[in-house]
Amino acid sequence: MTMLKEGRPTAPTPVEEAHMAPATATGNRALMLEEKLIFEIGSTDTTGVDFAVAPTGENRLGDLARADAIGLPGLSEQETVRHYTRLSRQNYAIDLGLFPLGSCTMKHNPRLNEKVARMPGFADIHPLQPQSTVQGALGVINELAVWLIKLTGMHGVAMTPKAGAHGELCGLLCIRAALEARGDARQVVLVPESAHGTNPATAAFCGYKVEDIPATPDGRVDLEALKARLGPDVAAVMITNPNTCGLFERDMKVISDAVHAAGAFVYCDGANFNAIVGRVRPGDLGVDAMHINLHKTFSTPHGGGGPGSGPVVLSEALAPFGPLPYTARMEDGSIHLIEEENVGEEMPQSFGRMSAFHGQMGMFTRALAYILSHGADGLRQVAEDAVLNANYVLRSLDDVLDAPFGGSGPCMHEALFSDKGLAEGFTTLDIAKGLIDEGFHPMTMYFPLVVHGAMLVEPTETESKAALDQFILALRSLAERAKAGDEALKGAPYHAPRRRLDETLAARKPVLSWSEPDLAAAAE
């Protein structure tokens, strides 16, 4: 052994199997620190915030003073910073590596956008301030609105919806209001089998009956079946384009024309707009309403599950029915709000308000900064590189993984594989969990439902060729192991903060909040 004269070794002893990874007393593994719940480490007498002493005065709380112990533990500032820093390290994120979740568009989140959103002029203004004091904020909404309209070739845009599904709701409410305005009480919304679950859920949530449209063997909407079903009871058809199989609906314009001829409207789920932004305008394809997930195409951060933002672009037929508040630019350049007070004169057919205030302003500033950074030329490049990256993944792996629609031509921004050809007993889940050990977030799995054991890979345009090559290497290796029946794969992940978790137990005996151990035991 090499060592200094005081006895400190300066080179490691070669590792032998017997010396690998003994258990630690704390359960920690060096930089990977186990972290208890705040309820186990904090106390209700600890606080990390100091306040001025309250001025003395009378109590105007009536007889409602809260006397019970609330049970909210506090931590000092340093303990708080450590708690959340340690927890953060148990998360995978785009900042760590490729995050190929199909239909989720996990692209880089530029930090300029975070900086802009935190400017006090945007972050620290109240939604009910007099309009003269928020002209810059209304300007952001209006400028973003103009971009969204031009990029989609549509007539107007409703900015208030809070997420994609909320945008779907907005679009369907516009359609329903437009139909009711002409005295037409249609009851049915048609949704393809491959649609996101939010589509049928939204249609049902606003009172429609939902019917499926089948897919063709090449993964697209069955045009003939759709045409056959259209009739006087159909209010709308909801189509995702590019669809969730990663394919462009070639017949979109024909579909739109048929839907319009039958007196119905076309709702387009814009979740996959990233594939066509700057290259194709949905307005040119006859779309009447489409939500745009700012947290996908325009890169506002996903934040571990929201907040999203889902503005809805609208055709000339639907724009008059959009929600309040709406911004309007005046001839003098000032921007004013259409709210309940002036809706009667300015937008009498509006279907009303669908959230308390102006929508996701914090997402608007980020999305606008993103759009201005890219410009018209950069956005077009976004779509091209996103599609190029997905096709590169598709063609680099279609010899080891089944690509059910790979024979019908190129894909758009996501590549779809199935579990066909894996060894008996091996599943998409095994490959997904294997990817975790390889240092990647898994792809979307078991969606779309029209493909067995679906694996939907969306690399996005912000991945380099080197990052894609490493991902392809990992997925190729996993596919080969799953085809060869490598049993070890069924135990993956081995190197993540946790092994596979028991979801059945969680659902059978739901524990949704923490209880003091003696109380929890008593409840058994």
Nearest partner of 379 among 12, 25, 84, 107, judged by Cα: 107
3-state DSSP of 182-238: CCCCCCEEEEECCCCCHHHHHHHHCCCEEEEECECCCCCECHHHHHHHCCCCEEEEE
DSSP state of 452: T
Per rule CB under 8 A, count of chain residues that contact another protein: 205
Residue 12, burial from CB neighbour count under 10 angstroms (0-12, 13-18, 19+):
exposed
Site for another protein in 175-204 (CB under 8 A): 176, 196-198, 200-204
Contacts (CB under 8 A) with another protein, residues 99-118: 99, 101, 104, 106, 108-110, 112, 114-116, 118
Q: With residue 256 as reference, give the H or E element that holds it.
A: helix 252-261
The total of other beta-carbon atoms located within 10 Å of residue 354's CB is 18
Going residue by residue from 407 to 436, which x/- string records binding to another protein, judged by CB under 8 A? --xx-x-------------------xx--x
Instruction: Tell me which residues in 471-500 interact with another protein (CB under 8 A).
Output: 491, 493, 496-500
Residues 6+ apart with CB under 8 A from 73: 38, 39, 41, 42, 43, 44, 46
Return the residues of window 115-174 that contact another protein according to CB under 8 A.
Answer: 115-116, 118-130, 132-137, 139-140, 143, 147, 150-151, 162-166, 168-169, 173
Q: For another protein, which is the closer residue by CB, 226 or 252?
A: 252
Work out whether 330 is an interface residue with another protein (CB under 8 A).
Answer: no
Binding mask 275-314 for another protein (x = CB under 8 A): -x-xxxx--xx---------x-----xxxxxxxxx-----
Which of residues 3, 181, 376, 488 is near another protein by CB under 8 A? 376
In sequence order, the 6+-apart residues with CB closer than 8 A to the CB of 219 are: 194, 243, 245, 247, 404, 405, 408, 416, 450
Contact residue for another protein among 3, 9, 24, 47 (CB under 8 A): 47
Q: How far is the CB of 100 from another protein (least distance, A)?
A: 11
- Piece in contact with another protein (CB under 8 A), picked from 7-15, 230-238, 366-374, 475-483: 366-374
Under the binding rule (CB under 8 A), the answer on residue 223 touching another protein is: no
91 binds another protein (CB under 8 A): yes
Task: Name which position in 224, 340, 480, 487 contacts another protein (CB under 8 A).
Answer: 340
Q: Are strands 335-338 and 326-329 parallel, antiparallel or unpaired?
A: antiparallel
Q: Which of 418, 425, 439, 405 is nearest to 482 (CA)?
A: 425
Q: Single out the residue of 523, 524, 513 nearest to residue 39, CA to CA.
A: 513
Site for another protein in 390-409 (CB under 8 A): 391-392, 394-396, 409
Q: Among 145, 288, 462, 482, which residue interacts with another protein (rule: CB under 8 A)? A: 462
**Closest approach of another protein to the CB of residue 7, in Å:** 37
